[in-house]
Structure 1
């Protein structure tokens, strides 16, 4: 293959139709040593009136990055505004950037050109498609469950030790306490409790998102999971019957939809050339009664409204058939997803058939679940998770619980009977509607829920809290909480305890560090200290685990403490001055003694 042909293939995706931000990319250099992506976006979008759609920073701390735009005009405008612009004492350099090559084509070329790479991948190539799928989706599938738990405990301890070491590094005043506690807690400065097992290890998932694509073995449209990711050079989809974490009824529902796709005149969507229609299928299942909700995502491409209406009717008629109802399908939505410009609102799923919600139960509370609402994927495991959080929180009837990122209100409503009031906030408005409906469904009167971003809404929600004893519980997305939300929690001195729940502990250690930082101009309140951590295995056969960490507010310095501190400083100063005087006196005496023989000689 000639170099020119190779290059043409690597960049052919730019001309296939469909939007790619790689077409309109700039390289921005000369950035200051310390800056934040949010700061840079604010500069570009608000101060300079640009419309950046994506920022790609290869590595934190780099003095260059890529910024992507929607068209040539916006890219050229950005270059003109940014090139030579003075920011934080630095002169920025902006110029058009070459688009990245297609990772799929690049990987294929590497695999054919590099013999060594091919040899090292022989083990993977020799595996069956079923084994490769299990390795990709449930990497612990062939490890005994008790061994899985040991691996997860080890990983959690490693993550918490990194957090511990970071606190030790940045706060010298805490070092002696950290070192003393490490002798008590086996190398950590706080207690790490034994991992809690999942009550169910097979077929435990109540929600899965399946991709629609081509099976590389059968060459047929298939609803399943990718064998790899696009950047790694794979778009093949494999069927899911062999996976042990998916319930049997959910697998049957997947096959019912797969049959519909194969009979359809419309092809699966291809990420290679942006053609095709069927993109993915989200399946939600109630563990209470096995009711199933389907959310069918498709790219309408150039289908007219009349053609879409006809397709919707075909879906409705198909899922009324006995085969669909036999596996428990009670609700069907369609979600029309196409490329959007920056600022355009994300379309909502459209209800086609059956009920608008399904209902599940946790700790005796019933919860209705809508298509986009967050709900823990392991219902039985969620009962362990939430009860553990309640037990660790020391909640009482005088407490107010602030439920940050409350979803459909599951945590707050489980806490409700143990505290005076619950105030929840959540970004997704539909989830807030569900949370309010769930409070009514369970006849709970002491809960209120609000919609909005946590970093903006939290101060107003916390101002509504009546009690002086506030407990915050945080269950954010994988990336963690925005720094503004962390600052609000730190600066409200009524927050005495904080329960942090994370499904990706390695991603949120910065939040942990910021909660424990020494007070400063930004972080006014006394810092929090970690008291104990508890891993809960919500995801058997995978590497993932939920982690609960209890933080308690450190004691604020009292007037007496300040006076004692001042007295101690004064005492130390007196002692130091006295020592200096003694040293000076001793030095003079020694000098006189040494001088005497000289005087006698003279």
Structure 2
């Protein structure tokens, strides 16, 4: 059962922080403690839930299910999402749809070869902990009192590797010893913010510390940067054995390397990962799939689905560090990748050279600006296939226009980590009837095959690979 409305002390309570599986039920009860204010505790099947359990229900909602049960649950969920998509398309196309069956094959979900501790990138927040200490490093959950939150350590989360938790705990010790305050809310001042930990299968570790400069001078900030390096290289934090320490000064919640450069304070500028026999360089802000083993399964699945277009040209939209294009390059004549983040493009170019791949070209810029000019000028060798792997926000409508309106693209492989979101809109625009209003004049694609790939065990999410043809 999805998050919804449950009874709490005789009142209806909307629960958005917990995901309750079909086997369990959640209620919230009130009790009066020694203090005058009321305290809330949470019950699961009649047993009081700890804050750690509530965090697990928020971050890894399926953790109480066996892995086979998780896969079955995800398979059914993807079926329902695809059925919803098919019914939408049936309203404005010739695609027939049933209320119960998806009108094209949906293959069995591809399991992740690694189920626990699989994340190679984790971001830990800084805020008030259970004990009230504002310098607590962990993950947020709501307290049930308005918009209040509490920061909980994530050591028990099944998807977190021990190394990430170790770095987070050491960072917590460091900022607690620092004279600077944490930056909990930007308008309240403070400096120490999140920390991101990146690791690879070889055990190399990169830490990225985010810092709000407020009114500190460069010399004052340098003192604290030096203290950070000292702690992790010669102090108690040396147990983390960090290979890289990056530092980003920013007065915004999130910003790119171009806006506020990542400063390498110590160690190697990159870590490397091997996928399907290819080696990839990863920078501080580059996108890379969080589950290496499942990424191999995903790229293998894409390669199999593109067999009909082997020895052709692949247009890789949202290519990141080039992992998909490079891993498929031996089967293709040419690969053209497009990526917004400049550093990721530099990594992709480097990765192609590193692996001796000569048939890949990578371009930097917004896909919605690059594609309309690129596609008409392309001289493709063999069949032209496009693969898109956008963020949860989906594809910009101008990208949809460029893909749909180019007649040479006969196959489109759409990889979505959130198909129930904006991807549904993309599917309708790619496969629905032509419309001058949106400048969608090309022949519509039709969904031919779908394959779920479990990239995120213990969570409700997975990657959905959808093959569209015309």
TM above 0.5: yes
In structure 1, the partner of 2:208 is: 295
Contact 1:221 1:268 in 2 (8 A): yes
Matching residue of 1:492? 406
Secondary structure at the aligned position of 1:189 is classed as: coil
1:14-37 deviation line (CA, Å, top 9, x unaligned) = xxxxxxxxxxxxxxxxxxxxxxxx
Q: CA deviation at 1:465?
A: 3.8
SS of the aligned residue for 2:245 comes to strand
Do 2:9 and 2:28's aligned partners in 1 also have CA atoms closer than 8 Å?
no
What SS does the aligned partner of 1:198 have?
coil
Q: What displacement does 1:332 show?
A: 0.7
Q: Which residue of 2 aligns with 1:580?
A: none
Corresponding residue number in structure 2 for 1:124: 42
Aligned counterparts of 1:362 and 1:344: Cα–Cα separation in 2: 25
Structure 1 residue 291, shift from structure 2 partner? 0.5
Deviation at 1:201, TM superposition (A): 0.5
List runs of 5+ in structure 1 lacking aligned partners.
1-112, 554-602
Equivalent pair of 2:231/2:238 in contact (CA under 8 Å): no
Across the aligned residues of Structure 1 and Structure 2, the Cα RMSD in angstroms comes to 2.6
Task: Name the CA distance, whole Å, in 1 between partners of 2:229 and 2:268.
Answer: 13
Q: How does 1:169-568 map to 2 (within 5 A)?
A: 169-171=91-93, 174-175=94-95, 178-179=96-97, 187-217=101-131, 219=133, 221-228=135-142, 233-271=147-185, 274-287=188-201, 289-321=202-234, 323-339=236-252, 346-394=259-307, 396-462=309-375, 463-507=377-421, 508-521=423-436, 522-553=439-470
CA distance in 1, matches of 2:169, 2:130: 17
Q: Is the CA contact (8 Å cut-off) linking 1:216 and 1:236 kept in structure 2?
A: yes
**Residues in 2 aligned to 1:161 and 1:229: alpha-carbon distance in whole angstroms:** 36
**In 2, distance between residues paired with 1:275 and 1:305?**
17
User: Alpha carbons of 1:344 and 1:400: their partners in 2 closer, same or farther (altered >3 Å)?
Assistant: closer
Q: How far does the alpha carbon of each residue in 1:217-264 deviate from its partner, in whole angstroms, 9 at most, with x for none? A: 363622111123999623210111111111112221222212111111
The SS at the match of 2:348 is: helix
Structure 2: 5+ residue stretches without partners: 1-7, 14-25, 30-40
Shift of 1:459: 2.6
Contact 2:387 2:413 in 1 (8 A): yes
Do the aligned residues in 2 keep the contact of 1:297 with 1:336 (CA within 8 Å)?
Answer: yes
Distance in structure 2 (CA, Å) of the matches to 1:120 and 1:144: 23
Quickly say closer, same or farther: Cα 1:231–1:390, change in 2 above 3 A.
Answer: farther
Distance 1:523 1:229, change over 3 A: farther
Residue by residue over 1:396-455, the C-alpha shift from the partner in whole angstroms, topping out at 9 and shown as x without a partner, is 553100000000001110111110000000000010000001111111100010011111
* Worse overlay, 307-316 or 318-327: 318-327
Q: In structure 1, what is the Cα distance between the partners aligned to 2:255 and 2:61?
A: 37
User: Counterpart of 1:269 in 2: which secondary structure?
Assistant: coil
2:3 maps to which residue?
A: none
In 1, the alpha carbon distance for the partners of 2:280 and 2:76 equals 34
Return the offset for 1:328: 3.5
Aligned-partner SS, 1:124: strand
* Alpha-carbon distance in structure 2 between the residues aligned to 1:344 and 1:504: 26
Q: Is the 8 A contact 1:395 1:418 kept in 2?
A: no
Paired with 1:435 and 1:331, the residues of 2 have a C-alpha distance of 20
More strand as a share of residues: 2
Q: Supply the distance in 2 between the matched residues of 1:407 and 1:240 (Cα, whole angstroms).
A: 28
The 3 A distance-change label for structure 1 pair 299 and 360 is same
SS in structure 1 opposite 2:233?
Answer: coil
Deviation at 1:273, TM superposition (A): 5.4
SS in 1 for 2:243: strand
Contact 2:333 2:382 in 1 (8 A): no
Deviations 1:54-90 (CA, angstroms, capped at 9, x unpaired): xxxxxxxxxxxxxxxxxxxxxxxxxxxxxxxxxxxxx
Q: What is the CA-CA distance between 1:137 and the residue it aligns to?
A: 1.1
For residues 368 and 341 of structure 1, do their structure 2 counterparts lie closer, same or farther at Cα, with a shift above 3 Å needed?
Answer: closer
Match of residue 140 from structure 1: 62
Separation of aligned partners in 1, 2:249 and 2:462? 33
Contact 1:163 1:509 in 2 (8 A): yes
Q: CA deviation at 1:547?
A: 0.4
**1:335 to partner: Cα distance:** 1.2
Alpha-carbon deviation of 1:523?
2.2
Distance in 2, Cα, partners of 1:419 & 1:343: 32
Distance of aligned partners of 1:323 and 1:339 in 2 relative to their CA distance in 1, 3 Å threshold? closer
Q: Normalising to structure 1: TM-score of the pair?
A: 0.68
8 Å CA contact 1:193, 1:533 repeated in 2: yes
Runs of 4+ in 1 over 6 A off after TM superposition: 340-345
Q: Return the offset for 1:165.
A: 0.5
Q: In structure 2, do the counterparts of structure 1 residues 460 and 328 end up closer, same or farther at CA, with 3 Å as the change threshold?
A: farther
Name the count of aligned residue pairs.
Answer: 432
Give the secondary structure class of the aligned counterpart of 2:330.
helix
